[in-house]
Amino acid sequence: MADDSFSALLISNALIANLDTLGYEKMTAIQAQGLPHVLAGKDLIAKAKTGSGKTATFGLGLLNKINPRFFGVQAMVLCPTRELADQVGKELRKLARAIPNIKVVMLCGGKPFWPQKSSLEYGAHIVVGTPGRIQDHLDKETLNLEGLKTLVLDEADRMLDMGFVEQIHKIISKTPKTRQTLLFSATYPDTIEKMSRRIQQDPITVTVESEHQSEVIEQEFYLSNKRSRHKNLLALFEHYQPKTALVFCHTKIQCNEVAQFLRDKNIQALAIHGDLEQRDRDQILLRFANHSCSVLVATDVAARGLDIKSLEAVINFELPHDPEIYVHRIGRTGRAGEKGIALSLYTDSERIRVSGIESFQNRPAIVGDLNRLKRDANFFMQSPMVTIQLDAGRKAKIRPGDILGALTGDAGLSFSQIGKIDIFDRVSYFAVARDSLPPVLDYFTEGKVKGRTVRARRIG
Ligand code: AMP
């Protein structure tokens, strides 16, 4: 077991004293496992999620190497979204308080370019930003990365999902080979491994098993008889009214049936299971992740490809036999410190599954009373966003920024109306707020992205 006190680390006393003022008493698991390697200058692959203390893992590493007297960019953190970049920037500034005059500059899209340019001219030690805007600064030669010592890719899997791969490689080609590269990712698809081989040297891998955070997940079990399961599922929706929910079923037939039942009851739900074509499955996962589908009914296997940040409720239409699968299922809610609910229906003959879960979690199950649930006959669920598919993608050199530019420029949308953008080889998808659908479709009857006319079609 690694020593979990920060004082065991080879970092300056000033940094340690500052951690004290921040109330960081001991290292989190990712810090205890990752920091010694990071401080030894090794490249790192860290499988860790937001909420694990990952920012301080790379933050302390990069700060420890900064020379405050040299006013050039010495560390860069690439993030998939502006929100994450803001969060990272805030945490780095807190950690950097220990060292006088450290400048952290944020370089994200959706913000005016020129103030960023002048901040860079004044001298920045650390830049945090999204790939599109960082590329713009490199293109305009307002950013110089020749003095870079540490490169961090945060939520690398999400950046790849969003189609940033080529851009990331282009950015990296402007950095010195001697840099230290730290790669953080919640999931490990082959694409991440491939990327690591291209940009890292002898990386050390550390994995922090996601803690189940059972204390932030409210778990309730409801005894139902077999025939009333559908009706009782509806009662759970009406009472808890989650904004997003993942409903687990055993079989594909059950998935289809439950999704249809929910749709009949005005709850917009989609079913996903192994029998669907890969393309359809990807589209459904994408629509769930970008909030243009609020309820997904899935088998365990089909839900594997799902990586979303906030999911309010996990509902077990039927409990799994294996308690470990139960814990894995409910671990999809209550992430990143948010509260989540896990609701389970079980029948009399499935009581044994509930006791298995109790002993696995070493805590008693809370059994709710279906008769006490508040019913709401007018309840309906409709996703806040809709998805538009464009018939052009990576091969047509479309980047997220191009779509964003078309939507906020000529189509007249504001940033708040635009959701996730996903770019694939030949198609792209973006989510827009339901009420902004007419102007978007209108724009694409003749509108262009990156100078070319593209066809747009609503898929959800
Ligand atoms: P992150 O995973 O980097 O987003 O961190 C999650 C939260 O944990 C942030 O609010 C940090 O300020 C906080 N944090 C990080 N490391 C520690 C620590 N060792 N002790 C207490 N809080 C921490």
Q: What is the CATH number of the domain that holds 408?
A: 3.30.70.330
| Cβ of 91 below 6 Å from ligand 1 | yes
Residue 233 within a domain: yes
For residue 286, the domain's CATH number is 3.40.50.300
Report residue 212: phi and psi, to 5°: -75, -15
Name every residue whose Cβ is closer than 8 Å to that of residue 308 and which is 6 or more positions away in sequence.
288, 289, 332
Same domain flag for 37 and 181: yes
Same domain flag for 138 and 48: yes
Q: pLDDT, tens digit, for every residue of 121-145?
A: 999 999 999 999 999 999 999 999 9
Distance 209 CA to ligand 1 centre (A): 16
CB 248 within 8 A of CB 233: no
**Predicted local distance difference test score (pLDDT) of residue 1:** 40
Q: pLDDT, tens digit, for every residue of 262-303?
A: 999 999 999 998 888 878 888 998 999 899 999 999 998 778
Residue 379 within a domain: no
Q: Whose CA is nearest to atom 22 of ligand 1?
A: 24
What total of structural domains would you count in the chain? 3
- Give the mean pLDDT of 312-330: 91
- The helix (run of H) or strand (run of E) holding residue 414 is none
Same domain flag for 412 and 304: no
| Cβ of 57 below 6 Å from ligand 1 | no
The C-alpha atoms of residue 122 and residue 131 are separated, in whole angstroms, by 22
Same domain flag for 58 and 123: yes
Residue among 338, 332, 336, 302 at smallest CA distance from 314? 332
Same domain flag for 287 and 316: yes
- Structural domain boundaries enclosing 51: 6-207
The dihedral over CA atoms of 107, 394, 429, 399, expressed in degrees to the nearest 10, equals 20
**Predicted local distance difference test score (pLDDT) of residue 338:** 64
Model-level pTM?
0.56
Q: How confident is the model at residue 186 (pLDDT cuts 50, 70, 90)?
A: confident
CB 441 within 8 A of CB 412: no
**Predicted local distance difference test score (pLDDT) of residue 59:** 97
Residue 378 within a domain: no
Label residues 137-156 b or e (16+ Cβ within 10 Å = b): bbeeebbebebbbbbbbbbb
Q: Which atom of ligand 1 is nearest to the CA of 6?
A: 19
Write down which residue in 178, 207, 236 finishes a domain.
Answer: 207
**Predicted local distance difference test score (pLDDT) of residue 54:** 92
Same domain flag for 251 and 399: no
Same domain flag for 198 and 228: no
- 50 bridge partner residues: none
Same domain flag for 429 and 450: yes
Same domain flag for 236 and 317: yes
**Predicted local distance difference test score (pLDDT) of residue 233:** 98
Same domain flag for 253 and 306: yes
Q: pLDDT, tens digit, for every residue of 11-51?
A: 988 899 899 888 888 888 899 999 999 999 999 999 987 67
Q: How many helices and strands (H and E) does the chain possess?
A: 16, 20
The C-alpha atoms of residue 84 and residue 162 are separated, in whole angstroms, by 14
- 270 bridge partner residues: 296
Same domain flag for 329 and 401: no
Whether 216 shows a pLDDT value over 60: the answer reads yes
**Predicted local distance difference test score (pLDDT) of residue 212:** 47
Same domain flag for 173 and 290: no
Q: Which atom of ligand 1 is nearest to the CA of 55?
A: 3
